[in-house]
């Protein structure tokens, strides 16, 4: 990796938590300058403009949360263990894998009407995540782990939407207890489909 590539990577890594906490619109170049201790010229020698930086930080945040989720899920051997590992990965909404909460939700809310490029990236990640969870559940049905009464797509959507929404609500209330109740409920629901 060249020095320029290392500097660009450093800028993105330092900007990511700021973007995740303040949002794209709420983050300004001064925030990045303070975090990196670089000059404006140094920042813009690596990025065309703030939109370019925002897009690359979005890619980084989405890749990082995907990696964390995949690492958690990979600890499970069965479909149920994989789903439970994902749920357990989200039990601490006040101490999230990425500082500031889940970037998927954070970016989705902000980009909904304001940034078509970021909205498209988040949409793709949301759809991929739901399909991934549904495929795990379909494998569980195929392997006889779950009853065919389980609707993989519906449960995957409900689970994913519940976790993302629960994270935001718990962070707003500064209380993790409701997330544990939510996760226990989702686990119990999935247990009912166990063969």
Residue by residue, pLDDT tens for the chain (195 residues) are: 899 999 999 999 999 999 999 999 899 999 999 999 999 999 999 999 999 999 999 999 999 999 999 999 999 999 999 999 999 999 999 998 888 888 998 898 887 677 889 999 999 999 999 999 999 999 999 999 999 999 999 999 999 999 999 999 999 999 999 999 999 999 999 999 997
Helices (H), the chain: 3-26, 29-36, 40-44, 50-73, 79-89, 103-111, 116-142, 152-173, 177-192
CA distances from 156 to 71, 128, 135, 170, 185 (A): 18, 11, 9, 21, 14
Dist. CA 132–CA 157, nearest whole Å: 11
Q: Enumerate the domain spans of the chain.
A: 3-192
Query: Taking Cα atoms as reference points, which of 152, 164, 90, 178 lies closest to residue 122?
Result: 164
Look-up: residue for tokens 């991929």? 128
Question: What is the CATH T-level fold of the domain 3-192, as seen in this structure?
Answer: Tetracycline Repressor; domain 2 (1.10.357)
What is the SS3 assignment for 194?
strand
């Amino acid at each position: 990796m060249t020095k320029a590539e290392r500097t660009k990577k450093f800028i993105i890594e330092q900007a990511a938590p700021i973007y995740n906490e303040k949002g794209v619109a709420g983050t300004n170049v001064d925030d990045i300058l303070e975090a990196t201790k670089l000059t404006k010229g140094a920042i813009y020698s690596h990025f065309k403009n703030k939109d370019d930086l925002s897009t690359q930080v979005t890619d980084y945040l989405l890749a990082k949360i995907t990696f964390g989720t995949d690492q958690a899920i990979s600890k499970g051997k069965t479909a149920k263990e994989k789903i439970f590992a994902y749920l357990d990965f989200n039990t601490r909404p006040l101490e999230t894998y990425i500082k500031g909460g889940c970037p998927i939700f954070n970016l989705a809310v902000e980009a909904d009407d304001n940034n078509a490029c970021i909205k498209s990236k988040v949409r793709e990640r949301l759809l991929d995540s739901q399909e991934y969870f549904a495929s795990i559940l379909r494998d569980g049905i195929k392997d006889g782990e779950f009853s065919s009464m389980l609707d993989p797509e519906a449960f995957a959507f409900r689970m994913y939407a519940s976790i993302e929404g629960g994270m935001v609500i718990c962070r707003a209330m500064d209380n993790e207890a409701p997330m544990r109740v939510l996760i226990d409920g989702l686990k119990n629901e999935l247990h009912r489909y166990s063969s």
